[in-house]
Amino acid sequence: MKAVYILPFEIDAYDEVLALWQRCEGVGLSTADTRENIDSYLKRNPGLSFVALINGQIVGAILCGHDGRRGYIHHLAVHPNCRRQGVARQLVDHGLTALSAAGIQKCHLFIFNDNSEGILFWKSVGWIYRSDIHVMSKTIEGQT
């Protein structure tokens, strides 16, 4: 296995991370994922999101943040050629460690119901699939 380096996700890496997200199945992108919105997210949640590098190339990324009470993971992705090498686990561990240091004791994530590979990964690293709650969303119009 090649050396994996985990570094904070800085906005300068946005284009490379976006290309990774676009390549990886199971990552749902929307207008919330523009450079400006990701920059705002990273500034609101400093030091909580990470990228994984092998040979200087970004091969993984995780967005991690919190609302002051609960942590949230978004867009965990690892390049298909670099899977099953512990990259995702390292990214998750870094995110959870950073959340813990911020005083956050519980973390949630969002995953598509049909993302069976993703669900298997999360279960394999100790996460519990909850069937007792559902996510509901609403687009807020008129924001400036």
**Over the stretch 1-36, which tens digit does the pLDDT of each residue have?**
689 999 999 999 999 999 999 999 989 999 999 999
**Over the stretch 112-130, which tens digit does the pLDDT of each residue have?**
999 999 999 999 999 999 9
Give pTM, 2 decimals: 0.91
Burial (CB < 10 A; 0-12, 13-18, 19+), residue 92, is: buried
Tokens 């490379």, residue located: 16
Task: Name all domains of the chain by residue range, CATH numbers in brackets.
Answer: 5-124 (3.40.630.30)
Q: What are phi and psi of 95, to 5 degrees?
A: -60, -45
Predicted confidence (pLDDT) at residue 135 exceeds the cutoff of 90: no
Burial (CB < 10 A; 0-12, 13-18, 19+), residue 77, is: buried
